[in-house]
Amino acid sequence: MLARGAVRLVGPSALAFAGAAAVVALFGPARGLVGGALLLALGVWLAFLLVFFRDPDRLPGTGIVSAADGRVRAVEQENGRWTISVFLGVLDVHVNRLPLDATLEGMDGSGAGFRPAYRPEASGNVQRRYRLRTEIGPVEVVQITGIVARRLVSFVAPGWSGHKGERFGMIVLGSRTDVLLPADRAAPTVRVGDRVRAGSSTIARVLP
């Protein structure tokens, strides 16, 4: 399964690959040397797009789940909130999912620049903040751009309600996603360096 909106990018590449394949088939290896090189290049590009835009179905995990695939880069408490930050590599699934049942109260864009997403100073990069109303109180999910990833995609609008694990957006190419939880209602269950998967990996438990 491909992420929402991916067909408009993958489709033309697939057609170009089919055209190059037809050239090689028509003229053969000797006369189709250029076509063969083009076929190889297009094949590599098409394979990359299919991997990057993949969007597998997921069964929701227990507790509060990760909003992104990747590796946990920080687990920090400040001003009464836990921040669990996940760095997404280029080959990770880039679709973001709700960490728990929620209603989207608002979305805010802020920041400037495109510093490497794995570095602390990336907290000031161009970003999009999703303000969620949940059973444990206000929760925020922040999509943060990186040095390569500069396009933030939203599938939803304020007023939308979804269940844990539902897709709400994606980030194009490697980047970072932070989940901010009220410290009096949630306790992290992951550590820096852990690998997580959006929608299925538990990152925190709900406190009574």
Contacts for 35-41 with beta carbons within 8 Å, 24 or more apart?
A: none
Name the nearest CA neighbour of 94 among 176, 26, 156, 39.
176
Out of 13, 175, 200, 201, the active site residue is 175
Please report the beta strands in 19-125, taking only residues with DSSP state E, as ranges in sequence order: 64-65, 70-78, 81-88, 95-97, 102-110
Catalytic annotation present for 161: no
Please report the beta strands in the chain, taking only residues with DSSP state E, as ranges in sequence order: 64-65, 70-78, 81-88, 95-97, 102-110, 127-134, 137-144, 151-154, 161-162, 167-172, 175-182, 186-188, 195-196, 202-206
Residues annotated as catalytic are: 175
